[in-house]
Amino acid sequence: MSIKVLGTGFYVPQRVVTNDDLANMVETSDEWITQRVGVRERRVSTDETAADFAIGAAFEALEASGVSVEEIDLIIAASITSETICPTVAGAVQQKIGASCPAFDINSACSGFLFALDTAVSYIMRGNIRNALVIGAERLSKIVNWTDRNTCVIFGDGAGACVVAPGENYLSSVISTEGGDSVLKIPGYSGASPFYKGITEDPFIFMDGQETFKFAVSRIVRDIKYVAEKAGISLDEIDHVVTHQANIRIIEYASKRLKIPMEKFFVNIDKYGNTSAASVPIALAELDRSGRLKRGDNVVMSAFGGGLSSAACIIKW
Ligand code: UT7
């Protein structure tokens, strides 16, 4: 026994910020961003939080699944940009949708949604719960340095969610972490203790782009091969690949190395940029709505990022 996906949902803020908008703020161009990253525009919050996005995505996933709020036994949200450490994003969702189940957050940066999904699967397989709401939600615009062209052109805000229940469709998975902060780091608030003599840093995303790029390509390839082999299916039998939307060139490299045609990779980085933990569930929800998913299709999901972390799984739709 494992799980099946009953419904998906996503929510993005209204405000569109184009590459030309950013070219008015930092030294960059639509041409550079489109060619080197693949982003044309992203959504940016003007007054909503990661929890607000999560609530929007959760309502949509609940409606799509046909599961009532009373039937949700667990809520897990992946986020690195919760407005409050406590209550969590998952706690805010629990309150707003009117659920009474346990709710907690997971932080594994851009791989967070797949870590959260794997955690929900474990609870379901133990038989403790039936239906779980799994969410990835981010307001990355909060931790982006808007004067740093190396990072501000990449990221965006939003949330994606799905409702899962006992089933036989989670064929295999892998999660992994390689601790360290030299490649990707997001310092938190270090407090105002008069006793603390440690380092205080700017609370913005630091990323060594090229190192992250190499890590990303190697992990997508390694993880997808691993989960396919574990599930006993060949790479040819994969029908859809939903990866973290970090850079179109990463996806193209993965397609080439895995010899899986680009047509099987779902791409929406052009519209939303990199939304970290929200990226994979937003893409899954859009794929779900595209009409391209058929019952029985093998859907591979793969994510990588801060931690450094990576994760992948295969779901039979
Ligand atoms: O979600 C977490 C996971 N994140 C990722 O997977 C991100 C992985 N990394 C990347 O996607 C890419 O490394 C970036 C998009 C971050 C950067 O692209 P790149 O092709 O690796 O660029 P680069 O850092 O090697 O810079 C190339 C050139 C440099 O100029 P010079 O030194 O060659 O003259 C940069 O200064 O491009 C310049 N540059 C820019 N130019 C215009 C860097 N950022 C920009 C910019 N606009 N926004």
- Return the CATH number at 74: 3.40.47.10
86 assigned to active site: no
Q: Which residue has the tokens 């890590």?
A: 215
Residue to substitute in 178, 211, 213, 308 for testing ligand 1 pocket (most ligand atoms within 8 angstroms of CB):
213
Look at residue 128 in the predicted model and tell me its pLDDT. Answer: 84
Q: How many domains does the chain have?
A: 2
Structure tokens at 25: 């703020």
* Pair 166, 130: CB distance under 8 Å: yes
Tokens 């939303």 belong to: 272
For residues 104 and 190, membership in a common domain is answered with no
Residue 12 and residue 112 in one domain: yes
Nearest to 158 by CA among 235, 268, 309, 26: 268
270 and 254 in one domain? yes
Residues 117, 237, single domain; the answer is no
Helix (H, G, I), strand (E, B) or coil at 137: strand
> Based on the domain organization, do 123 and 154 belong to the same domain?
yes
| Amino acid type, 178 | E
**Structural tokens at position 299:** 């859907």
Query: Which residue, of 112, 145, 167, is where some domain finishes?
Result: 167
Can you list the positions of beta strands (E) in 178-218?
184-185, 206-207
Respond yes or no: is residue 110 known to be catalytic.
Answer: yes
Q: Are residues 88 and 120 in the same domain?
A: yes
| Residue 160 and residue 27 in one domain | yes
Please give the Cα distance from 302 to 317 (Å, whole number): 16
Angle at 173 between CA 167 and CA 176, to 5 degrees: 145
| Ligand 1 pocket, CB under 6 A | 28, 32, 36-37, 110, 149-150, 153-154, 209-210, 212-213, 216, 246-247, 250, 274, 276, 305
298 is catalytic: no
Indicate if 13 and 102 belong to the same structural domain.
yes
Whether the full predicted model's pTM is greater than 0.95, yes or no, is yes
Pocket perturbation via mutation, ligand 1, pick of 17, 36, 217, 245 by most ligand atoms within 8 A of CB: 36
Q: Are residues 11 and 117 in the same domain?
A: yes
Do 54 and 99 fall into the same domain? yes
Alpha helices in 184-278 (DSSP H): 209-231, 248-258, 269-272
Q: At 210, which amino acid appears?
A: Q
Q: Shortest CA distance to 107 belongs to which of 24, 26, 177?
A: 177
**Cβ contact 274:65 at 8 Å:** no
Structural domain harbouring 203: 173-316
Question: Quick one: 145 and 258 in the same domain?
Answer: no
Tokens standing for residue 31? 């041409």
* Cα distance from N-terminal residue to C-terminal residue, the chain: 15
Q: How far apart are CA 150 and CA 311, in angstroms?
A: 25
CB atoms within 10 A of CB 243: 26
Residue where a domain stops, chosen among 134, 167, 200: 167
* Cis peptide upstream of residue 194 (ω within 30 degrees of 0): no
135-157 pLDDT per residue, tens: 999 999 999 999 999 999 999 99
Q: Do residues 15 and 119 share a domain?
A: yes
> What residues of the chain score a pLDDT lower than 70?
none
- The residue among 167, 192, 208 that closes a domain is 167
Count CB neighbours of 200 within 10 A. 11
Peptide bond just before 171 cis, omega within 30 deg:
no
